[in-house]
Chain A
């Protein structure tokens, strides 16, 4: 429903066919940001080697839903459980999309740029904004909070009252063309745990 309250334009009803497609990121994992309480030393999300507690997150390979968007966590993989962004190029199932949803977290809040590569060779740069994973951080960019754990893992202990936060952020695809790839930022502060592509479909409008 689109409000016309301020413009005097009557509200419109629109019908769209939304599809949501989790992306397999196998082959890109390069960081272990989640650890079990029995082995906190295996994690190293940030420079202090803190990590998310596995006990409070979905298991590897699980499908989760955040604000209606399905994400799939990476399966067990010796290479890690997330992508620490270092300019990787991620090939996508070619198609027309409207949003790229990301399960993400940052070692301090930051913003950078992703490059969207289209089938015709066009490239659009779009902002990627991610809030801090550290305790008491807020959604500085209006993201949805995906997970907030009651403890933080330190290399040698489990720390109560220091929460770890993971966010659901989205990047717009404004070009009406088939998307085929995504260049992640060269910014090691940003970590990516899952990605889902959304096609909102073209609206079919009728006067209500």
Chain B
């Protein structure tokens, strides 16, 4: 490779994780608006025993398919892979790039020179690979999470990060102790509906139905799931279960990001079409995202003494439930104006 490849767009919002930022890169390559795709669907789902200590953890309604679980209306789909030949993991990257795809690879930040955790902290993360120059010993990677990076890194560093065992690290209880093992995602972006008032009404109706469902076979879903999760978290904290508090941080990140992106989606539509009720529903969804901060940060700081943190977790859990309930009522009301 003599000419550096074109740098993919870096897309970032303050409440998202590497999961949304890397999928956004794939969407933007296909000319899609990440807010439309990642912000239309909104749900709550907690799957007991499923949470992994990785920044990109998300409770998949469609097992193994992060893309479809996040954006079921927009033809987004992802598949996890491991290198076909462990002796030559780069072959999978070569093949993907040759086919015009940018693989999203799991990495351990400890080995990436551009990450603040370099040679310091082990943590599972996602980045996009958009070029490979083996003659020069360089891989081109992008990462929109601060400090954003798009450019070459040594292939040796990429391989070390990609194949890391990501050992338990006392500096990071939330994203370490989860082997990376060469995992990577491929992304397909299919047909998507136009964002019209009729489509948004349909989406809002579906989201409300999901939140109000009596039962969810995928896990603790909907408003009932929020209540069960928050009561369980406070209860486990009272019992001194530090693992429950550690899980709340990565699990809550996915839920917080989705609420924030749904809010941005509704606000954009409400502004575009001059529908005040949509903008108000957006604010209520945003309030859910902000209530997640109280739960996540209280849990994170409370790990050393879960029982002491239990009353505050119960308080923030109650606020989170109230925020979801108000937001769902707001969605229902907004749908009536479309």
Contacts and interface: CB of A to CB of B under 8 A. Distances in A.
B146 A112 contact: no
B294 interface: yes
B58 to A, nearest CB: 18
Contact of B14 (A129, A140, A157, A187): A140
A108 B146 contact: no
A106 B146 CA distance: 17
A160 B300 CA distance: 25
A189 B312 contact: no
Contact of B146 (A111, A136, A157): A136
Contacts of B298: 187-189
A111 B14 contact: no
Contacts of A161: 146-148
A109 interface: yes
Contacts of A175: none
Contacts of B300: 47
Nearest to B298: A188
Contacts of B315: 186
A143 interface: no
A161 B12 CA distance: 15
B166 to A, nearest CB: 17
Contacts of B316: 187
Given A110-B293, A161-B147, A189-B294, A138 B116 contact: no
A115 to B, nearest CB: 14
Interface residues of A, number: 32
B301 A188 contact: yes
B294 A110 contact: yes
Nearest to B174: A47
Contacts of B287: 111
A161 B144 CA distance: 12
A98 interface: no
A159 B294 CA distance: 26
Given A47-B297, A47-B300, A111-B290, A186 B312 contact: yes
Interface string A22-33: 000000000000
A106 B296 CA distance: 13
Interface string A134-160: 111110100000000000101111011
Contacts of B15: 108-109
Given A106-B293, A188-B297, A188-B298, A132 B146 contact: no
Contacts of A138: 14
B274 interface: no
Interface in B95-149: 116, 120, 146-148
B120 A156 contact: yes
Contacts of A187: 293-294, 297-298, 316
A155 B116 contact: no
B297 A189 contact: yes
Interface in B155-194: 171-172
A187 B312 CA distance: 8
Contact of B116 (A106, A129, A154): A154
Interface string B15-48: 1000000000000000000000000000000000
B146 A135 contact: yes
Nearest to B316: A187
A14 interface: no
Contacts of A108: 14-15, 256, 293, 296-297
Contacts of A106: 293
Contacts of B301: 47, 188
A161 to B, nearest CB: 4
Given A107-B297, A162-B147, A136 B116 contact: no
Interface string A167-196: 000000000000000000011110000000
Interface in B294-308: 294, 296-298, 300-301
A159 B293 contact: no
B120 A110 contact: no
Interface in A73-105: none
12 contacts: A47-B300, A48-B172, A108-B14, A109-B14, A110-B293, A134-B14, A155-B171, A159-B147, A161-B146, A162-B116, A162-B146, A187-B298
